[in-house]
Amino acid sequence: MTVIYRQLLINDITLFTSQPKAKFYDTLFMNLDLGSFPDRRHKHGRMGYSRQALLRSVVVMKCECFEYISDLWDYLNNNLIIAHYCGFDITRKLPGYHVFERFIKNLNNDELKKIMASQVKRLYELGIVDASFIAIDSTPISANTSQNNPKSFGKDKFKKDTPPKNDKDCRLGVHTASNQHNEKNYEFYWGYKNHIIVDCISGLPLYELTTTADVNDSSVALDMLHETNSVIPIDECTLIADKAYDVKAIYNTVKFVYDGECAIPLNPRNSKNPPSLACGNVICDAGLAMHKDGKDHSGGRLRQKYCCPFKYSSDDCACPCAHKNYFNGKKHRGCTKYVTLPDDYRLSIDRTCVSFKKIYALRTEIERYNARFKQTRQERMWVRSLNAVRNLSSIAHIALLAVAFAAVITQNPDFIRSRKSALRSA
């Protein structure tokens, strides 16, 4: 009889898993809508493992911050009740390493985009996320290659002509320590970028995109805003971004397409403001006040032109510094300088006012979210293809959104931004 009771205890899988954690995953998966994600890819042939169960298990991997599939496999085998909540038949053998690897590598990322869009819409309908203040940024993702190893002393490991052989999709990128235009603390890496738009009020993602590391941040911003607007309306929003997004097209799109505002610092781009008098007239190299000489409309911008005060002089000794342009042999002598006039929305923003500084301070919310995203082990990849990196990044965002939704359902709104607290409080 003692042997029978002992066997019953061994067969009770609930005794070997933390009950709060099991309850958490039960609530999380009950509210994770996978209606747009087919459970089986083909109607004929071998059944194989459930695609929804595989996806839920990778969500567990991101919630538990496991870096490798082997860690997930050990965790599911030691916590069969969570494997059961994922949708696996625990009376059979659980899928092995290569099943998970093929699933992540071959998964269509558009299917994951639909799941994430569904989550954002549901949170928007509940009033959790909003698009009044949104921020956009990117975070680097290092590829799984020895050329990213700081202990690797290869001579040409960061040359564009010598890409890694084991990951042909990754590209060379640069990551700086801050957003200052004169920042000298930077490092090169081979890999990818994850671009994200975050709601600055709730701190939750609205749309994400993974590209190679050589893609400029501002080049994908307009497409991301368009895709975000197709999920939830972003009319009359305030876009907050760093200097990498200081591009006129972004300002004009937010202002005239979405009727919104921008809180983006100016990027000097090596521009130099010539010295001028209090009245605004530019001072030439000889220390003389230059005269206004019309306006220049070339290059899609408006500039005030200033000319030499001795422009029409015939005296070769009139210029105190004997500037080379004064002896150009032309009728109009001397140098010219230009000052850009604030004729567009980008230059009309007062970046010194208190309201701009307070709004721009909300950008720290996207930095906090990127930190939570990196905690899911997305800072360095173990897969070696762009599609696999995209899939893992999308699943990481889906997992963080699922945690937030579970916190709302369980009436724990304080745990929307905290994965660890949500796991403990379940």
What is the structure's pLDDT at 76? 93
Helices (H) and strands (E) in the chain, counts: 14, 9
User: Which candidate, 245, 250, 248, 249, places its Cα nearest to that of 265?
Assistant: 245
What is the structure's pLDDT at 272? 64
Residue that terminates a domain, selected from 350, 369, 395: 350
Residue 399 belongs to some domain of the structure: no
Query: Tokens standing for 74?
Result: 């050990």
Residues 7 and 79 in one domain: yes
Residues 258 and 304 in one domain: no
Residues 275 and 262 in one domain: no
Q: Pick the residue with more confidence: 422 or 193?
A: 193
Residue 379 belongs to some domain of the structure: yes
Q: Would strands 133-142 and 171-176 be described as parallel, antiparallel, or unpaired?
A: unpaired
What's the CA dihedral at 18, 24, 27, 31 to 10 degrees? Answer: -140
Residues 98 and 228 in one domain: no
Residue that terminates a domain, selected from 75, 106, 137: 106
Residue 312 belongs to some domain of the structure: yes
User: Which candidate, 345, 189, 181, places its Cα nearest to that of 272?
Assistant: 181
Looking up residue 212, the CATH number of its domain turns out to be 3.30.420
Residues 259 and 363 in one domain: yes
Task: Determine if residue 121 is left, alpha or beta; phi over 0 gives left, psi from -120 to 50 gives alpha, anything else beta.
Answer: alpha
**Chain segment 204-262, per-residue pLDDT in tens:** 999 999 999 999 999 999 999 999 999 999 999 999 999 999 998 999 999 999 999 99
User: Which candidate, 373, 183, 364, places its Cα nearest to that of 267?
Assistant: 183
Q: Report how many domains make up the chain.
A: 3
Residue 125: count other Cβ atoms within 10 Å of its Cβ. 10
Residues 150 and 230 in one domain: yes
Rounded Cα distance between 136 and 205, Å, is: 10
Rounded Cα distance between 73 and 57, Å, is: 9
Query: Which residues are bridge partners to 194 per DSSP?
Result: 139, 210
3-state secondary structure of 349: coil
**Chain segment 62-121, per-residue pLDDT in tens:** 999 999 999 999 999 999 999 999 999 988 999 999 999 999 999 999 999 999 999 999
Query: Which residues are bridge partners to 208 per DSSP?
Result: 196
Residues 310 and 225 in one domain: no
Residue 424 belongs to some domain of the structure: no
Residue 114 belongs to some domain of the structure: no
Confidence of residue 43 (pLDDT cuts 50, 70, 90): low
Share of the chain above pLDDT 90, in %: 52
Residues 181 and 201 in one domain: yes
Residue 426 belongs to some domain of the structure: no
Element (H, E) at 142: strand 133-142
**In degrees rounded to 5, what are phi and psi of residue 216?**
-70, 140
Contact 310, 318 (CB under 8 A): yes
Mean pLDDT confidence for 268-279: 71
Residues 235 and 288 in one domain: no
What is the structure's pLDDT at 15? 46
Q: Which own/partner pairs from 305-311 qualify as long-range (CB within 8 Å, at least 24 positions apart)?
A: 305/336, 305/337, 305/338, 306/281, 306/282, 306/336, 306/337, 306/338, 306/339, 307/332, 307/334, 307/336, 308/284, 308/333, 308/334, 308/335, 308/336, 309/284, 309/334, 310/334
Query: Which residues are bridge partners to 304 per DSSP?
Result: 295, 339
Mean pLDDT confidence for 293-316: 82
Residues 141 and 218 in one domain: yes
Residues 200 and 292 in one domain: no
**DSSP annotation string for 30-68:** HT---TTS-S-S-SSS---S-HHHHHHHHHHHHHTT--S
Residues 46 and 150 in one domain: no
Rounded Cα distance between 254 and 38, Å, is: 36
Q: Which domain holds residue 86?
A: 2-106
